[in-house]
Amino acid sequence: MTTGLDYDGLASVFRAAAANVRSGVDRLCELDCATGDGDHGVAMGRAMDALEKGIDQCSTTSIQTMLEGVAESVESIDAGSTGPLMGSLMEGIAESVGDATRIDTRLLATIFEAGLDELLVISKAKVGDKTMVDALIPAVEALKVAAAGGESVADALAKAADAAEAGAEKTKQFQARFGRARNLGERSIGHQDPGATSMAMFFRGMAEGAASRENS
């Protein structure tokens, strides 16, 4: 068992997240067809390809440099609001990681909270607005609780993924307040938000990647 994630560990965890999101592209597009224009899965697939491109192009073993490259790569994609939103999340993470060479649970919670704060500069969404924030905020809160309890990175990410999935499920109850779905008004109720779902997939992939490393 390892304590925290070094450069290679963090890279592999993000790759696992990217792979899990890509495996759900069809489901995300199906969800988006119900309330939007049906291309959220495609957009997230592009974002995950860009994330891995940022990792691949990093020529150092600096965690911050890798994350900065990931943020820049994701922000550059042509995929509607997905690039700016996911890019801002990664940018906040990169800016807050500093010169750390290993990510423990406390730092993991700190950098994701900073990423959330950066994303909310763009989004302005709140829990209940039927957006990716409905999964991201509970996930970050779960990380913070796990960090305070001294849990491992893998356990913290598993709880964050559980919280994100529960948050995504709850979006069925909400009326959309952002994006094209808001034009449906009350008709958006009963449909699960694709953005929240893709964020839940992202955290589940991270959790699985971290668990794999801890057990190796």
Provide the number of structural domains found in the chain: 1
pLDDT value for 177: 82
What's the average model confidence in pLDDT over 134-140?
98
Among the listed residues 30, 42, 120, the one whose alpha carbon sits nearest the alpha carbon of residue 80: 42
Q: Tell me: the pLDDT tens digits for 164-211?
A: 999 999 999 988 887 777 777 777 798 899 999 999 999 999 999 999
pLDDT value for 179: 74
Q: Which residue has the tokens 């829990």?
A: 127
> What span, in angstroms and rounded, lies between the C-alpha atoms of 206 and 100?
19
Provide the residue range defining the domain that includes 153: 7-214
Share of the chain residues as helix, strand and coil, in percent rounded to the nearest 5: 75, 0, 25
On whether residue 93 sits in a domain, the answer given is yes
On whether residue 95 sits in a domain, the answer given is yes
pLDDT level of residue 69 (50, 70, 90 thresholds): very high
The answer to whether 137 touches 117, Cβ cutoff 8 Å, is no
**Minimum mean pLDDT range among 82-96, 132-146, 183-197:** 183-197
On whether residue 30 sits in a domain, the answer given is yes
179 or 82, which is more confident: 82
Residue 56: which residues within 8 A CB-CB, separation 6 or more? none
Q: Is the pLDDT of residue 2 over 70?
A: no
What's the average model confidence in pLDDT over 6-16?
97
On whether residue 193 sits in a domain, the answer given is yes
pLDDT value for 183: 73
Taking the CA atoms of 190, 191, 196 and 200 in sequence, report the sign of the dihedral they define: positive
On whether residue 204 sits in a domain, the answer given is yes
Q: Tell me: the pLDDT tens digits for 91-129?
A: 999 999 999 999 999 999 999 999 999 999 999 899 999
pLDDT value for 1: 40
pLDDT value for 38: 84
Interaxial angle between packed helices 7-23 and 194-214, expressed in degrees from 0 to 180 and rounded to the nearest 10: 140
On whether residue 2 sits in a domain, the answer given is no
Among the listed residues 86, 71, 173, 88, the one whose alpha carbon sits nearest the alpha carbon of residue 132: 86
pLDDT value for 216: 62
On whether residue 86 sits in a domain, the answer given is yes
Residue 88: which residues within 8 A CB-CB, separation 6 or more? 71, 75, 115, 118, 119, 121, 122
Structure tokens at 6: 């070094």
Give the total residue count for the chain: 216
Q: What percent of the chain has pLDDT over 70?
A: 99
> What span, in angstroms and rounded, lies between the C-alpha atoms of 48 and 205?
12
Residue 186: which residues within 8 A CB-CB, separation 6 or more? 175
The CATH number of whichever domain residue 137 belongs to comes to: 1.25.40.340
140 exposure class (CB count in 10 Å sphere: 0-12, 13-18, 19+): buried
On whether residue 55 sits in a domain, the answer given is yes
